[in-house]
Amino acid sequence: MSRALAGQWMASARTRARMIERLREKGIRDERVLDALAAVPRHIFVEEALASRAYEDTALPLGFAQTISQPYIVARMIEVLRSGRELGRTLEVGAGCGYQAAVLAQLTDEVYAVERIGPLLAKAKANMRTIQQFKVRLKHADGQWGLPEAAPFDTIILAAAAAHVPQALLQQLALGGRMLMPLGAAEQHLLLVERRAEGFVETRLDGVRFVPLLSGVE
């Protein structure tokens, strides 16, 4: 790590700590999730012009009509997925700049992340190199089709809102696995899907606002 980067890392420690306290105040209770967010320097993943806002609890633009998710939403989704279990082999759909994948990599050794926009994927790879996070496997692909060559997954998390539950992702969910995704268009909510012996069980959770899940690659 360069001296300049080390300085930025230390300077961000206090603002990261304040962010974690805000997440606690909002109801995040899983200390391992909070530790994971505290370990990842969000300022590395945002646009340089927005670095001063990196630890605000808000989504920020990444370009390409995409955003880096609000820290509370990252924490909330991972906390739901971890409740009473470990994440295991995890697939993220919509890697963006790589921030959420880096947080996930603090909690499991098997993280696969797909991104449909090539330049964003290149940013994610560069960000992973900067923070020396080499556990995340990144791929340029249409996330609606998942990553069949690495399936089945114990955990699937979507960072974009689908109009319906992608069937390909259901098929790649392991028995006992969980998938959490934003669902809807004008009005969205989180949908938890659990694969049990008797079939898929869906639970509707919080209202949210995400960019749409699009098909194809760029």
Looking at residue 109, what is its pLDDT? Answer: 94
Closest C-alpha among 62, 80, 70 to residue 156: 80
111 exposed, middle or buried (CB, 10 Å; 0-12, 13-18, 19+)? buried
15-28 burial, b for 16+ CB within 10 Å, e for fewer? bbeebbeebeeeeb
- pTM, to two decimals: 0.91
Report the first-to-last Cα separation within the chain, whole angstroms.
32
Looking at residue 64, what is its pLDDT? Answer: 83
Looking at residue 215, what is its pLDDT? Answer: 87
Looking at residue 183, what is its pLDDT? Answer: 96
- Tell me which of 2, 12, 69, 215 is the catalytic residue: 69
pLDDT along the chain (218 residues), means of 10: 49 83 96 96 89 88 86 97 97 96 97 96 96 95 96 97 96 98 94 96 94 86
Looking at residue 11, what is its pLDDT? Answer: 57
| Superfamily designation of domain 3-208 | Vaccinia Virus protein VP39 (3.40.50.150)
Q: Residue 194 and residue 85: Cα distance in Å, rounded?
A: 13
**Residue 72 — φ and ψ, nearest 5°?**
-60, -40
Cβ contacts of 174 within 8 Å, gap of 6 or more = 88, 89, 151, 152, 153, 154, 195
Q: Is 69 a catalytic residue?
A: yes
